Structure 1
Amino acid sequence: MVQNDQVNDISIALKEQDVEPPYSIFTTSEKWIIVSLASIAGLFSPLTAYIYLPAIPMIATAFNKTVELTNLTVTVYLVFQGVSPMFWGTLADRMGRRPTSLGCLFVLSLACIGLAFVPTSQFWLLMLLRCLQAVGSASTLTIGAGIIADIATPAERGGFFGIFTVGPQVGPALGPVIGGALADTLGWRSIFWFLCIASSACFIVMVTFLPETLRSLVGDGSVLPPIQYRPLLHLMGRGRKDSEVECLPGRKSSNPFRLFACVDVLNLLIFNGIQYAVFSAILATISSLFEKKYPQLTETDIGLCYLASGGGLALGAIFSGKLMDWDYRTTKKQLTRNFTPEKGIPGDVISEEDFPIESTRLKRLPIWIIMFCAACAGYGWSLQARTSIAVPLILQFIIGFTEIAMLTTIQTLLVDLVPLQGSSVTACNNLIRCSMGALLVSVIDLILHQIGAGWTFVLLAGICFISVPLIWLAVYIGPHCRASRRVRQTASQN
């Protein structure tokens, strides 16, 4: 009886230590607002890329260039979309989320103004401004991931990442529809005016409301940062500022390229890059394949076909995020029931370092990838057989749903592994997946021409399926790699 009382006393004391102080002083509703603002900013990365695609023939005619040469503006955009977040992500981890976000949106707005006025005799300037546009838009994703790492515990990170990815992932669906409508009615320059107005409006909203969240600057949100880091309207975290709260120490080095030396991180980056490359190839070929297989469709009809994958992306992001949070809570409850007799400490006070985060996050991933591969193969043969258009559209929805479920899972786990470099690890993820996506997109038309749509997507599904062992490898090597990083970090701090 005495021993049980001692165990209960220890449990109560440790639980009290767990909740004091809180991870973040922002309330749940304030966190949702902050994540929603980050999601809106993240929308511009894919939107800026895909809204441009329907206008390529029109722009080629205006500049008196071939479509193939005009497609170079897409290539250079993808290159800078992959590279620039490595700079912005590092800056966000060191200088703050708020100024970096505002800097990205400001650069994007200026680039869009330049593109709206670019002379049709200066094709080189069009390419240069597209590079600048990519620099401004692509990095909003990495900064948003860093914000989530700042304010959300691992137990709630999945749900927040689910909501955050809704904005960026509806861009591929909405971009072609908006771009086609603007180009047909107001001309190709109206696309850039639309982006300028939208990004400027987002800039104003962020200046007004977005608080600084970088933990080395504001701790759990209780530290009042310098005036240049404060929003114009200080509505979130209001009245709970305490300048005495200690901030987390900044890292001596925030070089994101060092993350590639982490075997567990690199393994996840490669796995995610494979799935994203296949999904990019599917999106890139929707227009040409549907135009060929269903010649009765107009350009507007083809643009609307992107909404099927967009709907799957939006619903899959929300569902998978909530499911990850549920898996985390379930695992936590199971550990609570386990006691450690030799220590007399219950399992609900297990440290985050000892929590089986890899197996918890990745437990659903085999299901998602099997569904993705099956839908991908079926999608190719449905187009090959020219079935009812409803069949490939339904399969597009499944592909989008499962792809975003995999992407959200991997992105959440990456931030769990290196929470102090949330923006940097997201930049690494962006670099790998954009590079692999650009490579596959550049050759997908050649593969389609050689073996047809059916076998092409069977081949892509097979490539995805053989990457399944990387999931088990992540679970196997993850705990050891995390322990090694903790030892190195402790040694460097001492």
Structure 2
Amino acid sequence: MEPQEPQEPLSRGSQDASSDQPEGQPPVPSSGETGSSNLASPELGLPEGEAGPEPEALHPVSSGPAYSVFPKPTKRWIIAMAACASFVSPMTANIYFPALNPIAADLGVSVNLINLTLTTYMVFQALAPTVAGDFGDMAGRRPAFIVCFTIYVFANLGLALQNNYAALLVLRMLQSAGSSGTLSMCYAVVADVAVSAERGKYMGFVGAGINIGPTLSPVLGGILAQYLGWRAIFWFCLIYAASWLIPYTLTVPETCRKVVGNGSIPPRGWNMTVIDLVRRRHKPIQRADATDGPPKRALRFPNPLNALKVVFEKQLALLLLYNTLIYLVFILIVATLSTQLAAIYHLTDLQIGLCYLPYGLGCCLAAISQGYILDANYRRTARKIGFTIDYKRGDDLREFPIEKARILPIFPILSTGIAAVICYGWVLHAETSLAGPLVLLFVVGLCITGSFSILNTLIVDLNPEAPATAVAANNLVRCLFGAGGTAFIESMLKALGRGWTYTFWALVLVVFSPALWVLIAKGPRWREERRLRRLQAREKEAVASATEAT
């Protein structure tokens, strides 16, 4: 059951509010003070050792703007559209697989040349979010989504009509650039509208969209290629994207906090929905929480190097490393699933595609359930330290161990997943009944992918000012590692065998697992050091700007 936002917050204790802004609060509409405060039992007049009231029940008097002014139905609509958009990139990467042989035959080229389009697709899948993420953090989510989906629509149109290999190669790169660029924005939208206390649930919905793609798309691609021809795959992608782009352009508001703050600042130009543009022609839009007006923003060319800055941050580098290792384990299982099942059980292409369904079901359940688990553990952590959760304006995470709240639920989940990976390898080695690998694939999808999604949420929590750039950095690292891992996994299987290969990768997660405890212990200090560095950098920029002006 969702926590209810209080209608009339109550004040307890005599603490003064901190002068710092709550999590993710942009400099644009900052007219108030943080709503987070720590309440210990002695301050409430309780006997020593007696637990205080539920943190959710104690809310200090509001003294600043809400974290997001969007009503709950609008917020849900925004998240739903983001979840549908998150389906596109993984779907596009996997729906193409069943059509490799027919495309090679129709274009008169070898399968090896068709496989080259997979390599170039993965390269752009790694690089495109670094540009799109920075663009989305700078210009807004709507411009970034519209540009990416427009590129994607026209790329699919060209792919459906082309008749030569050169066009296929180039257009697949454009298709990758358009679809992959949206991935970082989907997570960023959640950070825009959801406070950290309820962010896990919404991140789970977006993660479910991402995990459905690799599951359903091979089956869908095989059906389309078999009954309608391989060109139908690209027509389907075009229709899906256009069906998403039209309602998004018409109705989904801008959420980027650098552009509209908490939603109270009226957007300009292409940050406005079509409906808002029509309304503004007849009557100017006025919002109750609006400040003096939208700030003037100096647009620049997107800088992909901003994602690299995230990679080299001490705390985030360690987090990205372990998150990438988790991703590598499950992508290696997915990449080798078809070849292993064909070699052991002699299944047809359609049967192999159906074998992805248990894995995908586990991924979807993990994405949704982990969100509720994270939110519950957030409340539990707050209760233990006497921290007051502010659902209206967001929490000041400087005083909250967000690393501990996010990482602790991983340990039982990841331990189960590691055991399932080891069992999966030895079940394939023994060539048992097909039911064995399928059941273990479900557990791997549930636990390994669930652990990956939890750390994705923490990445967004640690970068409230530029969440799209942070997710792009995560995407860059994991795609590069994934491309490298898939390049030699078949050779590793031949050299070590199925059992020891998957056991090796499971043990890699065990060996590097102390990184999670390091993040729990040292993460808050590293996070504060990073905040102070950013504050000093802004002060220097302000002084430099003032000097130039005089």
TM > 0.5: yes
Q: Would you say 1:160 and 2:202 are equivalent positions? A: yes
CA contact (8 A) 2:387 2:400 kept: no
Of residues 435, 443, 446 in structure 1, which corresponds to 2:491?
Answer: 446
Q: Counterpart in 2 of 1:343? A: none
CA contact (8 A) 1:109 1:200 kept: yes
469-478 vs 84-93, which moves further: 469-478
What do the CA deviations read for 1:256-304 (whole angstroms, capped 9, x no partner)? Answer: 2211221111111111111111211111111111111111x32211111
Q: Would you say 1:228 and 2:270 are equivalent positions? A: yes
Q: Counterpart in 2 of 1:283? A: 334
CA contact (8 A) 1:223 1:247 kept: yes
Q: Counterpart in 1 of 2:314? A: 263
Q: Would you say 1:486 and 2:531 are equivalent positions? A: yes
Change (3 A) 1:143 1:350: closer
CA distance, structure 1, for counterparts of residue 531 and residue 92 of structure 2: 39
Q: Which amino acid aligns with 2:501?
A: T
Q: Counterpart in 1 of 2:52? A: none
Q: Would you say 1:66 and 2:110 are equivalent positions? A: yes
Q: Which amino acid aligns with 1:265?
A: L
Change (3 A) 1:483 1:19: same
Q: Counterpart in 1 of 2:378? A: 328
Q: Counterpart in 2 of 1:244? A: 291
- CA-CA distance at 1:416 after TM superposition: 1.1
Q: Would you say 1:300 and 2:342 are equivalent positions? A: no
Change (3 A) 1:248 1:460: farther
- CA-CA distance at 1:64 after TM superposition: 2.4
CA distance, structure 1, for counterparts of residue 85 and residue 103 of structure 2: 27
- CA-CA distance at 1:99 after TM superposition: 1.0
- CA-CA distance at 1:174 after TM superposition: 0.6
CA distance, structure 1, for counterparts of residue 219 and residue 342 of structure 2: 15
Q: Which amino acid aligns with 1:434?
A: C
Q: Which amino acid aligns with 1:8?
A: G
CA contact (8 A) 2:377 2:409 kept: no
CA contact (8 A) 2:327 2:449 kept: no
Q: Would you say 1:8 and 2:43 are equivalent positions? A: no
Of residues 335, 347, 353 in structure 1, which corresponds to 2:398?
Answer: 353
CA distance, structure 2, for counterparts of residue 337 and residue 61 of structure 1: 64
- CA-CA distance at 1:20 after TM superposition: 3.8
Q: Which amino acid aligns with 1:336?
A: G
Of residues 26, 39, 44 in structure 1, which corresponds to 2:83?
Answer: 39
Q: Counterpart in 1 of 2:519? A: 474
- Which ranges of structure 1 fall in alignment gaps of 5 or more residues? 1-5, 339-348
CA contact (8 A) 2:418 2:448 kept: no
- CA-CA distance at 1:245 after TM superposition: 6.0
Q: Would you say 1:186 and 2:228 are equivalent positions? A: yes
Q: Would you say 1:212 and 2:254 are equivalent positions? A: yes
CA contact (8 A) 1:216 1:247 kept: no
Change (3 A) 1:138 1:200: same
Of residues 55, 63, 76 in structure 1, which corresponds to 2:99?
Answer: 55
What do the CA deviations read for 1:312-343 (whole angstroms, capped 9, x no partner)? Answer: 011000100110001111111222289xxxxx
Q: Which amino acid aligns with 1:67?
A: V
CA distance, structure 2, for counterparts of residue 413 and residue 337 of structure 1: 19
302-311 vs 363-372, which moves further: 363-372
CA contact (8 A) 1:116 1:193 kept: yes
Off by >3 Å, runs of 4+ in structure 1: 9-20, 238-243, 245-254
Change (3 A) 1:172 1:7: closer
Q: Counterpart in 2 of 1:87? A: 131
CA contact (8 A) 1:262 1:481 kept: no
CA contact (8 A) 2:104 2:114 kept: yes
Q: Counterpart in 1 of 2:426? A: 381
1:285 aligns to what SS in structure 2? Answer: helix
CA contact (8 A) 1:221 1:241 kept: no
Change (3 A) 1:462 1:10: closer
What do the CA deviations read for 1:9-61 (whole angstroms, capped 9, x no partner)? Answer: 44799644557421001123322221110111111100000000111121122
1:220 aligns to what SS in structure 2? Answer: coil
CA contact (8 A) 1:293 1:386 kept: yes
CA distance, structure 2, for counterparts of residue 306 and residue 201 of structure 1: 26
Q: Would you say 1:141 and 2:183 are equivalent positions? A: yes
CA distance, structure 1, for counterparts of residue 493 and residue 316 of structure 2: 33
Q: Which amino acid aligns with 1:308?
A: P
Tell me the matched-pair count: 474
* Cα RMSD, aligned residues only: 2.4
CA distance, structure 1, for counterparts of residue 294 and residue 328 of structure 2: 39
Change (3 A) 1:334 1:246: farther
CA contact (8 A) 2:142 2:270 kept: no
CA contact (8 A) 1:372 1:398 kept: yes
Change (3 A) 1:300 1:241: farther
CA distance, structure 2, for counterparts of residue 64 and residue 350 of structure 1: 60
CA contact (8 A) 1:271 1:470 kept: yes
CA contact (8 A) 2:459 2:470 kept: yes
Change (3 A) 1:18 1:413: farther
Q: Which amino acid aligns with 2:133?
A: G
Change (3 A) 1:431 1:143: same
Q: Counterpart in 2 of 1:273? A: 324
- CA-CA distance at 1:483 after TM superposition: 1.0
CA distance, structure 1, for counterparts of residue 252 and residue 494 of structure 2: 49
CA distance, structure 2, for counterparts of residue 18 and residue 408 of structure 1: 33
CA contact (8 A) 1:84 1:139 kept: yes
